[in-house]
C-alpha cells in the first residue's frame, strides 16, 4: 500500500538504527509524546534495538490514560441512566472508574455502544428521538475536529437529544509541564504526527527555543519512528534545538485550516485535570458558551464528583516518564490488562499495557526473573 508499506520496510528501519548508533556519542533521553508511537516502539522492539544509544521515555499522549477519574465516573453515571444511550470509542469501555467500568454498566442493563466516529453517535440520536444520546468526547487535538463537527452539526440540525461529555486535552501544555518539572530528564521530543496534522507545529517552536530541546514531528510506522529518533539525535549531537518535520507526507507547518477553525469555533481552552498528573492550566478544550446546550455535564446537572485514585497506581509517574511501567511494584501482578489499577494498563495505547502485552518477556529476562 502506497505511503504505508515503505514505512514498514525492515531493511530501511535497520539501516537507520545503525546510523543512530554510529551518530550517538552518548545515551540520549527522548520522549515520544503519543501513545500510538509508544505501541509501535514496544511492539516492534525498537527500544530494545536502540537501548545503547537512546533511552525512550513514554509520554502522556494516551488520551484514554489521561482522562480523569471524575470524567470516567460521570460517564458511568450517564451510562447507567435508563434514558441514555451512551456512546464511546472502544478503548474507553474497560477503563476503571471508582466502582466499575462501562462494560460492567452495560452488563447491568446500561445502553453502552461503541462508535467509530462521533458523527455515528449523532446519527444514533437522530434515529432514536425518545432517547438521550451522549458521546464521550475524549482525546487530543486529533479527535477534536470530528467531535467539534458532531456538536456543530447537532446545532445546525437542531438535534435536541444529542450531547457530549467532554474531556479533551492538548499536547503543548503537557510538554511544558514535563520540561519545567525540576527532575526532568527529557532531552528531546518526538511530537505526535496526527496531532500536528491538525494543528501544525507553530506552537512547538517557542517550546523548542525556550527549553532548548529538539522537537521532531513524527509519524507512527516503524520507519517513521526510527527516522524521528535519528533526526532528534542528530540535532542533539550538533547542539541544535529546532522543530523538524519527519512526517512530511501528512503534516504542514500551519496544520489543517478548516479543522483548526472548526475546533476554535466550538471549543475554548480550559483548565483540565490529567489523570495521575493533576491539573494543567489551559491544557483542555471545553465547549464554548454558544454550544453549552450540547454539554452533557450541564444537561444532566452532573456537578463535581468526589473521587479517589487507587493509592497504589503510579500512573502519574509513568505518564510523566519518571517510572518505567515494569518498575512499578504492581505491574503484571496486582495490575494487569484484565484487572487494571489505572488507565495506562487499559488502553491499547497505554504505556503499561504496551509493556505488559509486548515487552514483559524482555523485561523479566533482563531482571533475571
Partner 1 sequence: MTGQILAASILTCPAPHTASDRVLLGHGSGGKMGAALLRDHFLPYLSNPALDALGDAAVVPIEDSQIAISTDTFVVSPLEFPGGNIGSLAVHGTLNDVAMMGARPLYLSAGFVLEEGLELEVLDRIVRAMGAAAAAAGVPLVTGDTKVVERGKADGMFINTTGVGLLDPGFRPAPHRAEPGDVVLVSGPLGRHGMAIMAVREGIAFETRIESDSASLGPLVERLGKTLAGDVHVLRDPTRGGLASALNEIAAASGAGIELDEAAIAVPADVSAACDMLGLDPLYVANEGVLTAIVPAGACDAALASLRSHPLGAAAACVGRVVREHAGLVVLRTSIGGTRIVDLLPGDQLPRIC
Closest CB to partner 1 among 153 and 310?
Answer: 310
Among 26, 27, 43, 127, binds partner 1 (CB under 8 A): 43
Among 37, 44, 246, 283, binds partner 1 (CB under 8 A): 44
Buried b (16+ CB within 10 A) or exposed e, 157-183: eebebbbbbbbbbbbbbbbbbbbeeee
Q: What number of chain residues touch partner 1 (CB under 8 A)?
A: 65
CA 331/CA 363 separation, integer angstroms: 11
CA 321/CA 337 separation, integer angstroms: 20
The residues with which 285 forms a beta bridge, in sequence order, are 168, 269
Q: Using CB under 8 A as the criterion, what x/- string covers residues 47-66 for binding partner 1?
A: -xx-------------xx--
Closest CB to partner 1 among 59 and 214?
Answer: 59
Q: Using CB under 8 A as the criterion, what x/- string covers residues 69-98 for binding partner 1?
A: --------------------xxxxxx-x-x
139 lies in the binding site for partner 1 (CB under 8 A): yes
Closest CB to partner 1 among 156 and 361?
Answer: 361
Closest CB to partner 1 among 31 and 226?
Answer: 226
- Picking from 31, 348, 325, the residue whose alpha carbon sits closest to that of residue 171 is 31
CA 7/CA 227 separation, integer angstroms: 10
How many residues are recorded in the chain? 369
Among 126, 155, 310, 327, binds partner 1 (CB under 8 A): 310
Closest CB to partner 1 among 92 and 175?
Answer: 92
- Picking from 264, 275, 241, 238, the residue whose alpha carbon sits closest to that of residue 71 is 275
CB of 242 to partner 1, least distance (A): 27
2 lies in the binding site for partner 1 (CB under 8 A): no
> How would you list the strands of the sheet with 267-274, edge to edge?
111-114, 84-88, 132-139, 162-169, 278-287, 267-274
186 near 155, Cβ under 8 Å? no
The residues with which 84 forms a beta bridge, in sequence order, are 132
291 lies in the binding site for partner 1 (CB under 8 A): no
CA 168/CA 211 separation, integer angstroms: 25
In the region spanning residues 169 to 228, those forming contacts with partner 1, defined by CB under 8 A, are: 194, 222
How many CA atoms does the CB half-sphere of 247 hold within 13 Å? 27
Among 19, 21, 106, 131, binds partner 1 (CB under 8 A): 106
360 lies in the binding site for partner 1 (CB under 8 A): yes
Closest CB to partner 1 among 14 and 155?
Answer: 14
Closest CB to partner 1 among 19 and 362?
Answer: 362
Burial class (CB within 10 angstroms; exposed 0-12, middle 13-18, buried 19+) of 348: middle
Residues that bind partner 1 (CB under 8 A): 1, 4, 8, 10, 13-14, 17, 36, 42-46, 48-49, 63-64, 89-94, 96, 98-101, 103-104, 106-108, 114, 116, 138-140, 142-143, 194, 222, 308, 310-312, 333-341, 347-349, 356-362
Amino acid at each position: 500500500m502506497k505511503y504505508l508499506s515503505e514505512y514498514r520496510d525492515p531493511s530501511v528501519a535497520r539501516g537507520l538504527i545503525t546510523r543512530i548508533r554510529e551518530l550517538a556519542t552518548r545515551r540520549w533521553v527522548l520522549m515520544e509524546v503519543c501513545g500510538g508511537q509508544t505501541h509501535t516502539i514496544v511492539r516492534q522492539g525498537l527500544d530494545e534495538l536502540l537501548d545503547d544509544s537512546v533511552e525512550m521515555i513514554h509520554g502522556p499522549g494516551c488520551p484514554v490514560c489521561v482522562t480523569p477519574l471524575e470524567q470516567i465516573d460521570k460517564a458511568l453515571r450517564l451510562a447507567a441512566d435508563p434514558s441514555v444511550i451512551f456512546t464511546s470509542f472502544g478503548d474507553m469501555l474497560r477503563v476503571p472508574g471508582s466502582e466499575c467500568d462501562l462494560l460492567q454498566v452495560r452488563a447491568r442493563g446500561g445502553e453502552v455502544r461503541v462508535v467509530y466516529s462521533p458523527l455515528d453517535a449523532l446519527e444514533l440520536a437522530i434515529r432514536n428521538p425518545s432517547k438521550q444520546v451522549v458521546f464521550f468526547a475524549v482525546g487530543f487535538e486529533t479527535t477534536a475536529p470530528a467531535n467539534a463537527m458532531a456538536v456543530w452539526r447537532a446545532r445546525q440540525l437542531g438535534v435536541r437529544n444529542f450531547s457530549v461529555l467532554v474531556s479533551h486535552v492538548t499536547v503543548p501544555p503537557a510538554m511544558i509541564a514535563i520540561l519545567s518539572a525540576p527532575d526532568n530528564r527529557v532531552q528531546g521530543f518526538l511530537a505526535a504526527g496526527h496531532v500536528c496534522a491538525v494543528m501544525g507545529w507553530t506552537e512547538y517552536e517557542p517550546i523548542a527555543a525556550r527549553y532548548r530541546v529538539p522537537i521532531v514531528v513524527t509519524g507512527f510506522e516503524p520507519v517513521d519512528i526510527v527516522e524521528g529518533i535519528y533526526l532528534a539525535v542528530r540535532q542533539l549531537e550538533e547542539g541544535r534545538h529546532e522543530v523538524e518535520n519527519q512526517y512530511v507526507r501528512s503534516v504542514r507547518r500551519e496544520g489543517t485550516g478548516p479543522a483548526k477553525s472548526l475546533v476554535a469555533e466550538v471549543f475554548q481552552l480550559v483548565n483540565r485535570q490529567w489523570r495521575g498528573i493533576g491539573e494543567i492550566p489551559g491544557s483542555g478544550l471545553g465547549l464554548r458558551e454558544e454550544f453549552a446546550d450540547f454539554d452533557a455535564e450541564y444537561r444532566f446537572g452532573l456537578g463535581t464528583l468526589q473521587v479517589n485514585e487507587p493509592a497504589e497506581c503510579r500512573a502519574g509517574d509513568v505518564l510523566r516518564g519518571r517510572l518505567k511501567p515494569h518498575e512499578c511494584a504492581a505491574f503484571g501482578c496486582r495490575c494487569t490488562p484484565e484487572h487494571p489499577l489505572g488507565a495506562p494498563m487499559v488502553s491499547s495505547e497505554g504505556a503499561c499495557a504496551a509493556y505488559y502485552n509486548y515487552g514483559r518477556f524482555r523485561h523479566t529476562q533482563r531482571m533475571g526473573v
